[in-house]
Structure 1
Amino acid sequence: MLLGVPLPRRLERDPRLHVTTIGTDQALRVGGSVGHRAKAGTVRVVHSRGVALTHPADTFTALASVLSVDELIVAGDALVGWLGWTTLPELAAAVRRRRGCRGVVKLRAALAEIRIGSRSPGETRTRLVLTRSGLPQPRLNHDVVVDGRWVACVDLAFPEARVAIEYESDLHRTDPRTFRKDLTRGELLKDDDWWLVRATADDIGPSVDRFVARVRRLLDVGGSGRHRP
């Protein structure tokens, strides 16, 4: 939370501060905190406004004790993506330092699916739903350019089939400016023979099969020529 990493609500509601002791001293046992201990050399320390914090990449590995694989992927996408606190090689190095430690299998599984370019948890979850259903990796936050003219930047894109996907959070519905911008983007894309698919939490949840089938159909149609009106 100090780094701005998106976390599940069950953790956001937990007011306790996690404190890691590095070296041979015992883990902290103080009310309102959760104590951890790490071997010297396995965790790096950075300082922000005079406060010692674990390096973002090492913070990612520590999260393996409380997050699922998919939640770790969301966290990793944020750290190497829109937060920009670390890099994929740094995450990989931090996971290697955890060799033999609890949670390393989960970390390796998450590391294999972290991608640079995501800008929200919803985009990450949408990508995972598509790729795990056998669809190709989409481009993330892709600039659609037609005949040298910039048209729009979209959350996920399959340029070869001219299919764009936007994940719509509640902000897209409640903020008038964002709502109008979304409508204009969709119309501009259609003018240049692109399909814009708007995805919601239901599409990557209870209606996932229908959502994936729709995207698959559009990829087949777009890959073979012009989209049907």
Structure 2
Amino acid sequence: MKVKVGKSNLTFEGLVTKVKRLYLAKDRESIQSHIRAFADRAVKLTVCPECDGARLNQAALAARIDGYGIAECSGMQISDLAEIIRDLKDASVGPMLEGLRDTLESMVDIGLGYLSLDRESSTLSGGEAQRVKLVRHLGSSLTDVTYVFDEPTVGLHPHDIQRMNDLLLQLRDKGNTVLVVEHKPETIRIADYVVDLGPGAGMAGGRLC
């Protein structure tokens, strides 16, 4: 709301809103100790007794498909959920099921089958977050976009690298530019162009090849 103080017109967002934005919306471990102490005194965090932390209302929690509820599906490993979705058949939501199957199976293919959909994104490692974004962009209708990935194969088993390569090529084939910083020969080999910084990197400055 607008507040007039003397000759100045100021915007006051409200005490509760400001406290939420400055102190509560941030990661607890990243804020300064005296701010954390204030937040601990001002706020008590508990699991909601109504939804048991599912963040859904009772109508949504009551809905079941083949005996499975939304919260149960979100809490499953993606690899297990992909199997359940694969077996679902309903012509009225066919396109949606097909898109969901493709997304889940792509996540399994690039080694993310152990995650669950209710996992908070802030708890993902850098490599996991990059791979999740890659799958998400595959389902996007955007084209002529430049994507930059920093070692997306980190932590992948050798047999999963080819699957990652296939996703990178799919993203390129949709009409996008894909720049990948990578050291794995298997991924470098699929590139249309390879830019090599070196030999003589570091103090020697490197040589662009």
Give the TM-score, by structure 1 length. 0.28
Structure with bigger strand share is 1
Larger relative helix fraction: 2
TM-score by length of 2: 0.30
